Amino acid sequence: MLNRIILIGRLTRDPELRYTPNGVAVAKFTLAVDRRQVKDREKETDFIDIVVFQKQAETCANYIGKGRLVAIEGRLQIRSYDDSQGIRRKAAEVIADSVRFLDWPKEGGSAYNTGQTRGVPGQGSEISFNEEEDIPF
**Nearest CA to 71 among 38, 43, 96?**
96
Q: Which CATH class is domain 5-35+45-113?
A: mainly beta
- Give the pLDDT band (50/70/90) at residue 113: very low
Domain map (residue ranges) of the chain? 5-35+45-113
Beta-carbon contacts of 48 under 8 Å, excluding residues fewer than 6 positions away, are: 7, 9, 30, 31, 33, 92, 93, 94
pTM: 0.73
117-130 tens-digit pLDDT: 333 333 433 333 33
Percent over 90 (pLDDT), the chain: 67
